[in-house]
A and B are shown apart, each in its own frame.
Chain A
Amino acid sequence: MRLRLTDIGVRFGARAALRDFNASVDGSKVVAILGPNASGKTTLLRTIAGLQSPTVGMVELDGRKVEKLKPHALASKIAWVPRVAEVSGSFTIRKVVELGRYALGPSRQRVEDALAKVDLLSRSESLWYEASAGMRQRAVIARALAQRTPGGVLVLDEPTSALDLRHLRMVGEMLRQCASEGDIVIAAMHNISFALDIADEVFVLKDGQLVLAGATKAVLTPSSLGDVFGVDLAWATDEAGNQHLVQP
């Protein structure tokens, strides 16, 4: 599986949300998308997921244009996790996860496995509109897990913004496992420590343009990120000897 983005540009009226984006990603990789607010992260992810047509350029998956894929084919190749999910029915958590199988046929086993992976099996009969933000976020991740085809693409927009530390770790391990099964995992995030932990590669956006790209450890340095985010950063070492980026 190879994802290729060529000269991608997306405009909303007069505003350019994304400009001249070129990149390619191979399977079995976790890619973190970082950048300040309104830098084009969500637009990039929506374009990759086939939910936003680029104004110029093209997104190809194994040589096929993503925007030309029919809904069923799109669902079988790319699973999408939004930053905030919207469910307007009186559905249970389980029902929301089952919707991931809409185009691919029901699979009780896949749904059970997905619920278990995000620690929601015991809460699966809770109603969506009564669930906490963290539960909803895990449910939507579970929906993508139930939907994904190993070797496909998993696109996540800030998938851990509402998660506690235990579930953050759980989702991190789960994303790594998906990559080990051949998936391309692309996730926007603000948690730089999390990106350092799980990502093989990182794309850093600013004002709709790709300003940094490459192997995570090489790209995420205090000086490079300080320039992008406009803050002072430094390395700090914890008791276990792990390095973290902190604001001094």
Chain B
Amino acid sequence: MNSKSIVILIFLALLLVAAAIFRLVITRSVGGDLSFALPDEKYVMYRLVPLISALIVGSALGVSGMGLQVLLRNPLASPWILGLSSGAGLGVMATMFAEHSYGTSIFGGQTIGALVGAVVSLLLVFGLSRRRGGIDPMTMVLVGVVISVLCGAGIMIFQHLVPMGLRGSFTTWLMGSLPEVESWWRLGILGVVVLFCISLIAWWGPTLDAACLSDDEAKSVGVNLPQIRRRLFFTSSLLAAIGVILAGPIAFVGLIAPHGARIVMRGSHRSLAIATAIVGALLLLAADDVRQLIDFGTGRLPIGIVTSVVGGLVFLVLLLRGRGRV
């Protein structure tokens, strides 16, 4: 990693710290007034939990998106566009429905449900996008959208099947929101897994660089393509699933974070993976900051709405300018 990359990473990290401090001190009273002060000790948890969740979810979705963009050689790839988030969401919904039906919680149920949903979605997208032995990028995005819609329909079926009283919590979850109450051990385990996956992807950085060549070229310079694809496939799915487990389906962070990182940093995927993790966390934390500032008199906006509005516009700009590159 060269000195320029290190300076950029330090700058991004400082921005992240500033956004985190802002999240800790910003307060909106019940009446709607804004103020800036550290909360009482008994309320600190309610800010630390969403803050740490934003760090975990943002970095997980960002690096998952980067992995998928390399895996599929498609700058439009992201957990949300390719239906991973919806697949994971369907898995979580199915688990929640099963837990409700049997009246008991399933150990690790939502985690396993999300992971299975994400992996199955990616397998379907990967399989259905193959043409003449290769992957067609545009077909892949379209298949991803179809899988997303089908998973969305599945989610709505589960919503329809649960009693009226439970539908509200399903709907809130679907909007995407950072938890304010979460056990530390669960956050800790998910955080460690995310950190491990990001470290692995950063470690594979030089291989990811070479995998950006065509299959023939990558193989000829010595890349074991089946191996790196299996690795990326699993780690990207796991990261996307963790994002969904903690915050529900958060749109666009997985797409925008890698592109944001590439705007400020060129070069190896080793440094890019770290930059993407920071930018992803920064995006989600900034979105969380923004939603504290907006009040339509109906309470704070779910964070998924903020990321959808901002991310949707950025996605449109990327499409129109045709500048998105892996």
Enumerate chain A interface residues (CB-CB to B < 8 A). 46, 49-51, 71-72, 74-76, 78-80, 82, 85-92, 95, 99-100, 102-104, 129, 140, 143, 147
| A127 smallest CB distance to B (angstroms) | 8
* Complex contact A72–B262 (CB within 8 A): no
Residues of A within 8 A of B39 (CB): none
Query: A71 touches which one: B209, B212, B216, B223 (CB < 8 A)?
Result: B223
A46-B216, A99-B209, A99-B210 known; A89 and B221 CB under 8 Å? no
Contact mask B89-132 → A, CB, 8 Å, 1/0? 00000000000000000000000000000000000000000000
Enumerate chain B interface residues (CB-CB to A < 8 A). 73, 75, 206-207, 209-210, 212-214, 216-217, 219-224, 262, 266-267, 269, 325-326
CA distance A102 to B225 in the complex (A): 13
* Complex contact A82–B217 (CB within 8 A): yes
Chain A CB within 10 Å, residue with most, of B73, B217, B224, B326? B217
Residues of A within 8 A of B213 (CB): 85-88, 99
| A162 smallest CB distance to B (angstroms) | 16
15 examples of A-B residue contacts, CB within 8 angstroms: A46-B216, A78-B220, A80-B216, A82-B216, A85-B217, A86-B213, A87-B212, A88-B213, A88-B325, A89-B209, A100-B221, A102-B210, A103-B221, A103-B222, A147-B221
The 8 nearest A-B residue pairs measured at CB: A103-B222, A75-B222, A80-B220, A86-B214, A89-B212, A88-B326, A102-B210, A102-B221
* Complex contact B222–A90 (CB within 8 A): no
With both beta carbons as reference points, the residue of chain A lying nearest to B325 in the complex is identified as: A90
With both beta carbons as reference points, the residue of chain A lying nearest to B220 in the complex is identified as: A80
Query: B224 touches which one: A49, A71, A92 (CB < 8 A)?
Result: A71
CA distance A75 to B325 in the complex (A): 27
CA distance A88 to B72 in the complex (A): 10
| B217 smallest CB distance to A (angstroms) | 6
CA distance A82 to B213 in the complex (A): 11
* Complex contact A90–B266 (CB within 8 A): yes
A89-B326, A95-B209, A99-B209 known; A71 and B219 CB under 8 Å? yes
CA distance A129 to B267 in the complex (A): 14
CA distance A129 to B324 in the complex (A): 11
Query: B220 touches which one: A75, A86, A88, A92 (CB < 8 A)?
Result: A75
With both beta carbons as reference points, the residue of chain B lying nearest to A51 in the complex is identified as: B216
* Complex contact B212–A88 (CB within 8 A): yes
| B261 smallest CB distance to A (angstroms) | 11
Residues of A within 8 A of B266 (CB): 90-92
* Complex contact A75–B221 (CB within 8 A): yes
CA distance A65 to B62 in the complex (A): 42
| B273 smallest CB distance to A (angstroms) | 13
Chain B CB within 10 Å, residue with most, of A82, A90, A140? A90
* Complex contact A91–B212 (CB within 8 A): yes
Residues of B within 8 A of A50 (CB): 219-220
| A136 smallest CB distance to B (angstroms) | 12
Residues of B within 8 A of A140 (CB): 217
CA distance A62 to B209 in the complex (A): 31
CA distance A168 to B28 in the complex (A): 69
CA distance A99 to B75 in the complex (A): 20
| A90 smallest CB distance to B (angstroms) | 5
* Complex contact A90–B206 (CB within 8 A): no
CA distance A50 to B220 in the complex (A): 8
Residues of B within 8 A of A79 (CB): 220
Residues of B within 8 A of A72 (CB): 222
CA distance A78 to B116 in the complex (A): 41
With both beta carbons as reference points, the residue of chain A lying nearest to B216 in the complex is identified as: A51
CA distance A75 to B207 in the complex (A): 14
With both beta carbons as reference points, the residue of chain B lying nearest to A85 in the complex is identified as: B217
* Complex contact A49–B212 (CB within 8 A): no
| A225 smallest CB distance to B (angstroms) | 29
| B115 smallest CB distance to A (angstroms) | 28
| A106 smallest CB distance to B (angstroms) | 9
Query: B219 touches which one: A74, A87, A88 (CB < 8 A)?
Result: A74
CA distance A103 to B207 in the complex (A): 9
With both beta carbons as reference points, the residue of chain A lying nearest to B213 in the complex is identified as: A87
| A65 smallest CB distance to B (angstroms) | 16
* Complex contact B221–A99 (CB within 8 A): yes
CA distance A79 to B220 in the complex (A): 6
With both beta carbons as reference points, the residue of chain B lying nearest to A88 in the complex is identified as: B326
* Complex contact B325–A51 (CB within 8 A): no
CA distance A141 to B326 in the complex (A): 23
Residues of A within 8 A of B223 (CB): 71, 102-103
With both beta carbons as reference points, the residue of chain A lying nearest to B133 in the complex is identified as: A12
| B78 smallest CB distance to A (angstroms) | 15
Residues of A within 8 A of B326 (CB): 88-90
